[in-house]
Amino acid sequence: AAAFTLGVPAAFAAKPLVIGFSQVGAESEWRTANTVSIKDAAKKEGVTLKFADAQQKQENQVKAIRSFIAQRVDVIAFSPVVESGWDTVLLEAKRAKIPVILTDRAVKVSDPSLYVSFLGSDFVEEGRRAGNWLVERQKKTPDAVLNIVELQGTVGSAPALDRKKGFEEAIAGNAKLKVIRSQTGDFTRAKGKEVMEAFLKAEGKKINVLYAHNDDMAIGAIQAIEEAGLKPGKDIIVISIDGVKGAFEAMIAGKLNVTVECNPLLGPQLMQIARDVVGGKAVPKRVVTQESVFPAEVAAKEFPNRKY
Ligand code: GYE
């Protein structure tokens, strides 16, 4: 009877999809939400996820990608810490016939066929939205010059380069809006605080506006502003990007003026693209996430709807 056992022979059973994912790190609330979204989506869909945390270092990502190639995963996905320096390792993946999906951050490569799809936000547009908000705000005090200090994200990363560019574009031509200092805070609270302390020491009360490339740096800087005896959100206008819960709390407390949304919940879409690629379907080269802008006035009403 044993010879007639029913069931699918192991060799014909649908194999679970295996994705190797190299994450940037755990530098911000945004990143934590992004990691949770990807892990949850994989679990829900029965995808085997090999997850590697690069701790904000490109060399760790290169190592992780090489190890995914050696393990012959079905798909490699990663959120590149920085934009450049990927040609060699991505060529290795291509030669091994393993498709690569970029999530969240972009790369600069000489050959665009080195990846199949890029899922993530339009960071230049986010920077523009931050700048446009300030241009509107400036109209309330048309005669005043507003001195801006900028906390940039990780040096060489797509969101830092693009958010700087978009913001500059939006305020260009407005002689009353001046960026007087700009430095990296590496997307972390601790660094945001530290660099803001230095800005305050150097410029003191000359600072009218803080533009931070993410909420975490803004939250760190808010602490520095308070410790300097000033009122964030009032003495210094604070603008940031991401739209994490911590930003909504800061807005409700009157310490942050606006956050531009950047959606980290990319897990379900990533799983879909990976399945399509492996299933031989055509996938879009670029998938842009939908996002809005939340000024402090709507923070309390929107807070219960926030998912990250
Ligand atoms: O804005 C920041 C994070 O790449 C969009 O990285 C992401 C950025 C996000 O650390 O908080």
* Sequential pLDDT tens for the chain (308 residues): 444 555 555 555 578 999 999 999 999 999 999 999 999 999 999 999 999 999 999 999 999 999 999 999 999 999 999 999 999 999 999 999 999 999 999 999 999 999 999 999 999 999 999 999 999 999 999 999 999 999 999 999 999 999 999 999 999 999 999 999 999 999 999 999 999 999 999 999 999 999 999 999 999 999 999 999 999 999 999 999 999 999 999 999 999 999 999 999 999 999 999 999 999 999 999 999 999 999 999 999 999 999 99
* Token pair recorded at residue 19: 């994705």
**What residues line ligand 1, using a CB cutoff of 6 Å?**
27-28, 30-31, 104-105, 159, 187, 214, 216, 241-242, 262
Give the helix ranges, DSSP H, for 175-234: 189-203, 215-227
Return mean pLDDT, the chain: 95
pLDDT for res 257: 98
Q: Which residues touch 23 (CB under 8 Å, ≥6 apart)? A: 31, 34, 35, 38, 51, 52, 53, 54, 78, 79
Q: Which residues of 2-14 are buried (b: 16+ CB within 10 A; e: fewer)?
A: eeeeeeeeeeeee
* Mutation choice for ligand 1 from 79, 119, 152, 187, CB with most ligand atoms inside 8 A: 187
Residue with tokens 């995963």: 73
HEC-encoded secondary structure of 253-276: CCCCCEEEECCCCCHHHHHHHHHH
pLDDT for res 11: 54
* pLDDT tens per residue, range 22-66: 999 999 999 999 999 999 999 999 999 999 999 999 999 999 999
* Token pair recorded at residue 85: 């320096």
For ligand 1, atom 8, the nearest C-alpha belongs to 159
| CA distance readout (Å), 179 to 99, 146, 209, 270 | 42, 9, 9, 37
Residue with tokens 């003191």: 204
Q: Terminus-to-terminus CA distance in the chain, angstroms?
A: 55
Q: Say what the pTM is.
A: 0.94
